[in-house]
Amino acid sequence: MSLALTALRLQAIAALLADPAIAKLCGPRIYDSRIADFDHREPVPTIVLTTEEMAGDAYSANNGGPPFDLKAELVLEIAQTATGDVMMGGEVVTATGPVATDRELEAALDFLADRVPRVLGAGDTPEAILLREAVTRRITKVKSSRFTTDETGEKFAIRLLTLTVQLKGWDESDELVNPPTGEFASLPEPLRSVCAVATGSARDTCLMLAGIADPPGPDPAPLFEGVGMIVAPQPLSPAIVPDQAADVAADRVFALHADP
């Protein structure tokens, strides 16, 4: 189940990177589960995606699960600074933040906080469509929190955007009929579908997981295609030995066939 969170992060990042408006503001600075804190000296805006709580009830109250009706919290930390000189690699460079005033800084954060759920929930790029077709059902809740500071000498703000996302459940029993193939066959859905089109570092992550996951099992047993049975009624006498030739000659033999 937890690998559904990996699929959610990888494909959500792909969808955000593919959006021209977000790309214009953030460029490639959209990260998966970055551990280090934001540094006010680095170029921003920057978006960091993490997945927090995940929970779900079984679809069948009688039979239990899996699959489960899963919901997860997708958290995006969006950091933005006003345009100014920053230190990078020991050199002073101009930050890429396109805003200069407090009003523009706040408006840029509002734009990104508004754009992200639109892209993930209704984007029309192939990456956004795959996210909805393979990973998510819908975004059921959104929450935005604000943090600002100027203690470092630069205007710096963070918007914490929390999306509650309903995930798609997968019935892995279907794979007994159509076993998966390919380099990511050992990964469960929806991660397998995401990895199939992943590129760059996302693909490297997929290959790492596929290398440590259990390899696909042996070929499944042949499906039931029916059974044939020949019946030859005999007298209930221990002294009589069954004789197939005699049964056939006496027309005492009939056949049964059961279809699947």
* The pLDDT of residue 96 is above 70: no
- Least Cα distance to 172 among 69, 64, 70, 67 occurs for 67
Task: Give the pLDDT of residue 147.
Answer: 79
The token duo for 199 is 């590129």
Q: How confident is the model at residue 177 (pLDDT cuts 50, 70, 90)?
A: low
E strand or H helix at 254: strand 254-258
Q: How confident is the model at residue 152 (pLDDT cuts 50, 70, 90)?
A: low
Q: How confident is the model at residue 244 (pLDDT cuts 50, 70, 90)?
A: confident
Task: Give the pLDDT of residue 149.
Answer: 63
**C-alpha to C-alpha distance for 177 and 179, rounded to whole angstroms:** 6
Q: How confident is the model at residue 92 (pLDDT cuts 50, 70, 90)?
A: low
Task: Give the pLDDT of residue 155.
Answer: 61
Task: Give the pLDDT of residue 179.
Answer: 78
**C-alpha to C-alpha distance for 94 and 123, rounded to whole angstroms:** 32
Is the model's pTM score more than 0.85? no
Is 170 in contact with 225 (CB distance < 8 Å)? no
Task: Give the pLDDT of residue 25.
Answer: 86
Task: Give the pLDDT of residue 124.
Answer: 95
pLDDT tens digits, one per residue of 19-39: 999 998 888 889 998 766 666
* The pLDDT of residue 168 is above 90: no
Q: C-alpha dihedral over 117, 120, 125, 127, to 10 degrees?
A: 150
The structure tokens 């892995």 sit at 172
The SS3 assignment for 35 reads coil
Task: Give the pLDDT of residue 97.
Answer: 52
Taken in order of first residue, the domains within the chain and their CATH numbers are 3-212 (3.30.70.1700), 227-258 (no CATH)
Provide DSSP, 80-134: EEBS-EEEETTEEEE----B-SHHHHHHHHHHHHHHHHHHHHH--SHHHHHIIII
Q: How confident is the model at residue 90 (pLDDT cuts 50, 70, 90)?
A: low
- Least Cα distance to 220 among 164, 167, 155, 173 occurs for 173
What's the distance, Cα to Cα, between the start and end of the chain in Å? 33
Look at 151 and 137; give whichever has higher pLDDT. 137
> Which residues, listed in sequence order, are joined to residue 176 by a DSSP beta bridge?
none
Task: Give the pLDDT of residue 162.
Answer: 96
* The pLDDT of residue 112 is above 90: yes
Look at 216 and 26; give whichever has higher pLDDT. 26
Task: Give the pLDDT of residue 146.
Answer: 85
- Least Cα distance to 117 among 57, 49, 53, 68 occurs for 49
**C-alpha to C-alpha distance for 54 and 56, rounded to whole angstroms:** 7
Task: Give the pLDDT of residue 38.
Answer: 60
In whole angstroms, how large is the CA radius of gyration of the chain? 30
Task: Give the pLDDT of residue 258.
Answer: 65
Mean pLDDT along residues 2-24: 95
Is 209 in contact with 187 (CB distance < 8 Å)? yes
Share of residues in the chain with pLDDT > 70 (%)? 71
What is the pLDDT of the chain when averaged over all its residues?
Answer: 81
